[in-house]
Structure 1
């Protein structure tokens, strides 16, 4: 139940920030937070990470549902998972559902966090759901590599 609450909180936070991104940024100039590094910039992403596979909405919806169902089944059938493993999986689920809501409701994912490493590298624009998916995945990789995912 705790992990469902964590996923729901991530979904809520993601959708709330996207609501404000649409309201404050869409059709407006980016808001600079740290010059030449961080700004809030509204982008409609019709693809996946880094803008790949543009306009493949049905594919992304199906794949996201398969991944979410797979994670839930995995969590239900493996009762000896560590707290860290369950937390990481809850983060991935929350982020995946946050972006899934956008794809179904809008036909694209709202991105707004724009990081540019002082002109050296302009990182693709992302959102909080993406952040939780990446952080959760990094934690998962660590836990699996070092065999720390089960009690």
Structure 2
């Protein structure tokens, strides 16, 4: 249940924020909200703007990734709140960016930080990776003991 809750929450937050940015903020426009600066860009590549023009190919990759996670979850080999949380963030982020790639041929980004401009889905994927690493370390530690 935690997996689905996180994935749906990430997906809704991501799509809602992108909708609001696309609707009210012009491309390349910078604005400040609650003291935080945002910049609206459209990215037809991957994170960091690499491989521009391959958005739909990355969308196919997102679909394959989600299928892989669902398969892993069904095998039952990886269990627990930590891995469910990790997979929820990863799948929610992958679906969020995948929707943009298939519908628009590009992803709406607006959260600047060192290394580029990201979106809610990108940050969710980062969180999922961090939790996956923690899960791996904890599993290794338990096996070692």
Give unmatched runs, 5+ long, in structure 1.
116-121
CA RMSD across the alignment: 2.2
Question: Residues 56 and 102 of structure 2 are in contact (CA less than 8 Å); yes or no, is this contact kept in structure 1?
Answer: no
Q: 1:34 to 1:123 in 2, by over 3 A?
A: farther
Within the candidate set 113, 118, 122, 1:126 is matched to 118
1:8 deviates by 1.2
Q: Which runs of 5+ in 2 are unaligned?
A: none
Query: In structure 1, what is the equivalent of residue 84 of structure 2?
Result: 86
SS of the equivalent of 1:139 reads helix
Inter-partner Cα distance in structure 1 for 2:44 and 2:78 = 38
Which 4+ residue blocks in structure 1 deviate beyond 2 angstroms? 32-35
Once the two structures are overlaid, the 10-residue window that deviates more, 58-67 or 95-104, is 58-67
For 1:48 and 1:80, the matched residues in 2 are separated by: 28
Q: Could you tell me how far 1:123 is from its partner in structure 2? A: 2.9
Separation in 1, partners of 2:3, 2:60? 23
Q: 8 Å contact 2:26–2:40 — kept in the other structure?
A: yes
SS across alignment from 1:18: helix
Q: Distance in 2 between matches of 1:77 and 1:114?
A: 38
Size of the aligned set, in residue pairs, is 142
Query: What is the CA–CA distance in structure 2 between the aligned matches of 1:100 and 1:7, rounded to whole Å?
Result: 13
* TM-score calculated relative to the size of structure 1: 0.84
Question: TM-score, with normalisation over the residues of structure 2?
Answer: 0.87
8 Å CA contact 1:82, 1:148 repeated in 2 = no
Distance 1:101 1:149 in 2: 37
Partner of 1:25: 25
Q: Which has the higher helix share?
A: 2
Deviation digits for residues 12-43 of structure 1, max 9, x if unmatched?
A: 110000011112222473113588xx411100
The corresponding residue for 1:13 is 13
